[in-house]
Amino acid sequence: MPILTASQVAERVGGRVVGDPSLELTGFAPADGAKPGDLTFAENEAYFLRADQSAASAILVAGDFRSASGKTTVQVENARVAFAHVLPLFFPEPVPAPGIHPSAVVAASARIDPSAHVGPQCVIGERARIGAGVVLIGRDFISDDCVLGDGCRLHPNVTLYPRSALGRRVRIHAGSVIGADGFGYVFDKGEHRKVPQVGQVIIHDDVEIGANVTIDRAALGATVIGRGTKIDNLVQIAHNVTIGEHCIVVAQVGIAGSTKIGNYVTIAGQVGVAGHLRIADRVTIAAQSGVMHPIPEGQKWMGSPAGPDRVMKRQYLAMERLPELLRRVQDLERRLGDGSSPVK
């Protein structure tokens, strides 16, 4: 693990050292597990007090907190953002050596940049293009005519169906399938007849896709994932869906076919989105919502069927009162039924 000084850490995150700038730091750990030589971090006063009482040698902290125990601090505007920048300094991602493993199967017409790493038992199809610095860790299947831009990293057992196109620095985690047939059928003479899915999937730069995600290719045209979007594990994205830039799609979301999602949209866990909808920019959809209608720009929706959050919250509050209201109605009916007057 690299050894960094407090001043080197501060330089990386645009912070200010209070204490010893030459202090050597050998690791990064949470406060309750830190040891001498470690850097820890704190987002607020409560976490800072805990970090100050820990064995850590220095604290990465948001704001002008001063250590009562004399620890060196690196003061930053946002500790969580700084944490994301500093952590790779202490835990750099392994970079496999360039080359093609002897067990890999590579088509003669495939073009692989000399700096790429093709791991054990990978398969690369005809006319596939693998860019500079691409890492295929192992058992990845890259079908015919696929394109992987520079710096992509595929974890084990990722499958790309034909003509899938990845931009630069796309990361796909284990078990994901990109470009399988969309779920398209028509009912014809008493049976479900398959509609051929002849489109593709296009994934733009800096997208990260979690484990066991499925993104179906379009019937015609393309299913598209926009630049900088992050997709969690176990997500299903159907054919001809378009997701814009810098969206967050949390685990177990399902998006039905031909829905268009704008930029900077957040879709929380277990949300279901019906097909052929338009979700505008900067929308937030709460967990376990069922979206059946288009959502205008900037709105927050929740519930099933989903609606604007302020409307749905009023409905939930009303539902919480239903047992008491039912009891009062039953009491009123009983009083009216036996001829007595209700209590005023």
d(CA 57, CA 303): 47
Structure tokens at 73: 């601090």
CA distances from 266 to 98, 189, 298 (A): 37, 42, 11
d(CA 322, CA 300): 25
Which H/E stretch holds residue 17?
strand 16-18
d(CA 158, CA 165): 14
Reported as half-sphere exposure (CB side, CA atoms, 13 A), residue 78 has a value of 4
What is the SS3 assignment for 225-240? ECCCCEECCCCEECCC
Q: Which amino acid is at 171?
A: R
Closest CA relative to residue 235, chosen from 248, 256, 254, 218:
254
Strand partners, 310: none
Active site residues: 239
d(CA 221, CA 122): 28
d(CA 28, CA 59): 10
Check: CB of residue 194 under 8 Å from CB of residue 185. yes
CB neighbours (10 Å) of residue 318?
10
Strand partners, 187: 192
